[in-house]
A and B are shown apart, each in its own frame.
Chain A
Amino acid sequence: MRRATTPDLEEEPRSREARVRRLAQAFVTDEAMAALRHDLLSHLTGIGTVTYLLRKHVDDGELPATEPVKPPRERRGGDLLRMIKEQVTAATSKLQRRMIGAPDRAVSEAPLAACAARARASLLNAEGVVVTLTGDDDGARMGGRLPLIAAANDVEVEIAMGCLLENAIEAVSSEHGDCEASPGSSKRDVRVTLERVTSAGDEPEVAFVVEDGGAGFDEGASARAFDAFYTTKKGHLGLGLTVARRIAQRWGGSVVIEGGGPGAHRVALRLPALPPSRRSLP
């Protein structure tokens, strides 16, 4: 069994679950912080430019000067902005440092099949959607193919996979609107394929591809789906794809909506493949 060759998989299931949960929370908080920080700094920039323009027009005599519009030099926008900016930077960098450290290079082998199975098992699937996994690396034992192992942290990969699976299950579940089945797939199906990505010239990659029978991305959703806080679902944060992509990019991979545009039903998590020489083969 491959299990015996990968010590990380021996971990106590409950402590591993707690670790996945903690890390997932950290990612969500971190993304939320980063998005809020970006928005806040953008707003401050807008306030700064508007203030500058108003002041200039007052100075040029195009607008009537009134006391509140013409504060003493030292209290003008620039200083205030600098002060606020320092506060924001200090507060967020402190928080962010506590959230996510550098990638944990000590554990940087993620067997796709095991990660996918665990991501699936950890999801509450009250709707009873059928999630089938195919193309896993069991072929390694039977057909001599190399197992699909990503050069990434396995806990993080599991979280990213969970984000994609969750979206697919939600897309075929009734509570998120009427889903019309796309041709060729059953309405309540989610199909996951693990595959090797072979594109000439590039480093070899492995992929976790999720295909669902839902209505696909809404018009406009595919362009903005990766934006933090973008959601079309009631009561959701809109951070799933943001987090999944962040994790993928930390390890040199990507998350792409395949086919693009509205109506796409396939979302792929791609990660660099672990070089064969570094694999512990069964």
Chain B
Amino acid sequence: MTAGGAPRPTILIIEDDETIRETLTQILEDEGYVAVAAADGRLALSYLETCETAPNLIMLDLMMPTMSGLEFHAELRRDARYGTTPVLLVSADATVSEKARGIAHVAALKKPFDVDMLLATVGKLCPRAT
């Protein structure tokens, strides 16, 4: 728990690579976030339908089986609850920044990323109560 017992921000990680998914969850938990992980867009959508606390940030891999990151994003925005939830695209796609440009509430980070850089970006998009 952060100082003062303020609620910890929740981050939803959507990532098909198991190693990245599990280590990222751990890293973000260590940093004081609540991290929830889904292996693909469908699982993430069903989580979002029923979750009690809406995530404060969604980290989204662009290239995933069954449903691409951009398809997930389109679905996500249909739900009014998630119309402005910040989304951080994380992808090995060299054009990920171009893809994010111009889309509201979407930022991008290229894989492989420096973890310190990732945490700085996450911190900006989803400030922790201090």
Residues of A within 8 A of B (CB): 37-38, 41-42, 44-50, 52-53, 56, 77-78, 81-82, 84-85, 89, 93, 223-224, 227
Contacts and interface: CB of A to CB of B under 8 A. Distances in A.
Contacts of A56: 27, 30
B65 A227 contact: yes
B6 interface: no
Nearest to A93: B94
Nearest to A44: B112
A224 B64 CA distance: 10
A40 B59 CA distance: 20
B78 to A, nearest CB: 18
B14 to A, nearest CB: 14
Contacts of A223: 65-66
B27 to A, nearest CB: 6
Which secondary structure dominates where chain A touches chain B?
helix
Contacts of A44: 111-112
Interface in B48-101: 63, 65-66, 92-94
Given A38-B63, A85-B112, A49 B30 contact: no
Given A89-B94, A224-B65, A46 B30 contact: no
A49 B66 contact: no
A81 B23 contact: no
A49 B20 contact: yes
Given A78-B114, A81-B114, 13 more contacts: A38-B63, A42-B20, A48-B115, A49-B115, A53-B26, A53-B27, A78-B116, A82-B114, A85-B112, A93-B94, A223-B65, A223-B66, A227-B65
Nearest to B118: A49
B60 to A, nearest CB: 14
Nearest to B19: A46
A89 B95 CA distance: 12
A63 to B, nearest CB: 13
Interface of B: 17, 19-20, 23-24, 26-27, 30, 63, 65-66, 92-94, 111-117
A221 to B, nearest CB: 12
A12 to B, nearest CB: 38
A78 B113 CA distance: 8
Given A53-B23, A227-B65, A42 B114 contact: no
Nearest to A79: B114
A111 B102 CA distance: 37
Given A45-B20, A50-B19, A224-B65, A38 B92 contact: yes
Contacts of B113: 45, 48
Nearest to A54: B23
A48 B112 contact: yes
Contacts of B23: 46, 49-50, 52-53
A48 B94 CA distance: 18
Contacts of B115: 48-49, 52, 77-78
Contacts of B94: 89, 93
A82 B110 CA distance: 11
A37 B92 contact: yes
Most buried by B among A52, A224, A227: A52
